Structure 1
Amino acid sequence: MLTTSTVARAGLDAVALKPAECNVERATSLPVETIAIDYEGHDHVPDRRTIEALSADATVRLTTPVRADGFDPLGDDSLAAELPSGVERILVAGHPAYLTDDERDRAVAPRLGAALETAPDSWVGTESVERIAMATGATQYDLLSRTTMRELRALRAATFDGDIAVYAPTVLTADEDAILDAVGDYVARRRPVAAALPDDGDEDGDRTVTDSRATGRTREILLAAAEDYTLVGTETAVRERTDALREAGATTVVGYPARELEAFLE
């Protein structure tokens, strides 16, 4: 990592980008060695020229859902076949929101196995398929949660010696309103948080307010959840969290700029 950059001061090893939210090509200025690109549907897969530009100065890992047409190793893998040779992959089952009904019905395990035969250095996303992902022996790609530290220590105590990458939405500010505007909705969707939010919270129509307008108990729960499920705070505070994750057993910490890409470009 480049020790003078914001990304490095926060202790991040890699940065994840959502192409539906930002101009991915701007990430050529990111002072980081690894860039992960999330999958948000076929319409948002960066074109070959953009991927090659990003690959010039960094390792690029493209998230590819193995059940989706174009990336299905047991069916239509045309998009995967067109990826530049230097691009690495993150194999995931695929978020249902980005899959058709037919794609959602496809078996995950045999497709992960087939994809790893052609891309053995891939990371494997563990969301909803933890045991299958672990069975592959590939680098595990975990979402940060309130149990991550305990799980990392347990895996290392059980002599698991594989690589573990931890992904977390990241907000490099201690401003509570900015944190809620950036990740309030995200943490509110985590099952334990949704269950804890009061029914009589702030309402916006039929939906509980989860951004900076949240007050009272709702606000307290959301801010506490942000500490569990995301990396938030000053660069120093985030660095303490990333150091603790690595000490517990993570080999790579991947931050997604949930507030704005600009904060990561400095």
Structure 2
Amino acid sequence: MLTGVTLDDVGIDAAALKPAEVDVTAASDLDVSTVTIDYEGAGHLPDRSTLAALADQKRVRLTTPVRADGFDPLGDDSALATLPDGVGRVLVAGHDAYLTNDEAERAVVPRLEAAAATATDPWVGTEGIERVALAIGGTQFELLSRSTGRDLRALRTAGFEGEIAVYAPTVLTDDESEILDAVGDYAARRGPVRAALPDGAATDATASGRARDVLTQAVGDYALVGDPETVAERIEQLRAAGADAIVGYPARGIEPVR
């Protein structure tokens, strides 16, 4: 297990935190200047004072699903009034796991357009809505995948000059079992990986045989994993392909990277 390696050491620009997992105020100890806070349901939304205190120390962006009550620019947008000055937004359609059935049925495109019209310098999540996100503008917020490098080069070759940020779960260790415990399940949810895994296979460090082989390859496609040199090299490749910012989600928690 590697210790004493920070996000900045490998070239990561921003940390993504999940408030259901960690106390987001701990981000003040991280050596990155920018923090993004994921949306995991209204019950885990940090309060105004917490966001304000963090924004005094870091550049902060909050993921705001445009279909969710509280952030719906065509309906209930009351949560926006609770955001302190200086807290930017990452506009996303919103994951169905954190939406009610009614919210999940709402149209994405008009809501993204309306939200982008009022947000200052928004990042726009591209997952599942890449063409829509490009049309909306703003910094394109991409999830790392096996095709990200190719996709970035294609965008730049086509003349896209806007900002692109790439999000990736990050595990700074060369221990295969620790990597699988941290991001094996995450990788297993990706379509190509799910199709390649044997039915009922374990997706953590207990995986064996073909399942372990598939997962060991897949985690490197969908996450930044490995020793510092390996991760730093992958990040340089992403920058060379056209990424402007790398956003790392510390998949083992904050302690190993601060």
User: What's the TM-score, normalizing by structure 2?
Assistant: 0.97
Distance 1:248 1:8 in 2: 20
SS of the residue corresponding to residue 120 of structure 2 reads coil
Distance 2:165 2:196 in 1: 28
Q: Which residue of 2 aligns with 1:242?
A: 235
Could you tell me which amino acid in structure 2 is paired with residue 111 of structure 1? Answer: R
Give yes or no for contact 1:69–1:76 (8 Å, CA) kept in 2.
yes
Distance 2:195 2:241 in 1: 28
Alignment pair present for 1:65 and 2:65: yes
SS of the residue corresponding to residue 63 of structure 1 reads strand
Offset from partner CA, 1:6-48 (integer Å, 9 cap, x none): 1111110100000001111111111111000000000000111
Q: Which residue of 1 aligns with 2:165?
A: 165
Could you tell me which amino acid in structure 2 is paired with residue 46 of structure 1? Answer: P
Could you tell me which amino acid in structure 1 is paired with residue 74 of structure 2? Answer: L
Alignment pair present for 1:131 and 2:131: yes
Cα shift at 1:158: 0.5
Distance 1:256 1:246 in 2: 18
Q: Which residue of 1 aligns with 2:183?
A: 183
Could you tell me which amino acid in structure 2 is paired with residue 237 of structure 1? Answer: T
Give yes or no for contact 1:9–1:236 (8 Å, CA) kept in 2.
no
Give yes or no for contact 2:14–2:34 (8 Å, CA) kept in 1.
yes
Distance 1:258 1:248 in 2: 24
Offset from partner CA, 1:67-109 (integer Å, 9 cap, x none): 0000001110000121001100000000001001110111111
Cα shift at 1:198: 2.3
Q: Which residue of 1 aligns with 2:79?
A: 79
SS of the residue corresponding to residue 259 of structure 1 reads coil
RMSD between aligned alpha carbons?
A: 1.1
Q: Which residue of 2 aligns with 1:233?
A: 226
Could you tell me which amino acid in structure 1 is paired with residue 136 of structure 2? Answer: T
Could you tell me which amino acid in structure 2 is paired with residue 81 of structure 1? Answer: A
SS of the residue corresponding to residue 107 of structure 1 reads coil
Aligned length: 255
Offset from partner CA, 1:123-171 (integer Å, 9 cap, x none): 0001111111010121100100000000000000001001110000000
Q: Moved runs in structure 1, 4+ residues, more than 2 A?
A: none
Q: Which residue of 1 aligns with 2:206?
A: 213
Alignment pair present for 1:252 and 2:223: no
Offset from partner CA, 1:171-195 (integer Å, 9 cap, x none): 0001000000000101011000000
Distance 1:6 1:104 in 2: 37
Q: Which residue of 2 aligns with 1:204?
A: none
Aligned CA distance change for structure 1 residues 195 and 60 (closer, same or farther; 3 Å): same
Cα shift at 1:120: 3.5
1:36-115 to 2 correspondences below 5 Å: 36-115=36-115
Cα shift at 1:224: 0.2
Aligned CA distance change for structure 1 residues 30 and 193 (closer, same or farther; 3 Å): same
Give yes or no for contact 2:66–2:72 (8 Å, CA) kept in 1.
yes
Identity, in percent, stands at 62
Distance 1:109 1:156 in 2: 24
> Structure 2 unaligned runs (5+)?
none
Give yes or no for contact 2:65–2:91 (8 Å, CA) kept in 1.
yes
Cα shift at 1:118: 1.2
Q: Which residue of 1 aligns with 2:146?
A: 146
Cα shift at 1:259: 1.1
Distance 1:124 1:43 in 2: 23
Give yes or no for contact 1:5–1:31 (8 Å, CA) kept in 2.
no
Q: Which residue of 1 aligns with 2:25?
A: 25
SS of the residue corresponding to residue 51 of structure 1 reads helix
Q: Which residue of 2 aligns with 1:174?
A: 174
SS of the residue corresponding to residue 208 of structure 1 reads coil
Cα shift at 1:5: 6.9
Distance 1:52 1:30 in 2: 17
Could you tell me which amino acid in structure 1 is paired with residue 28 of structure 2? Answer: T
Alignment pair present for 1:14 and 2:24: no
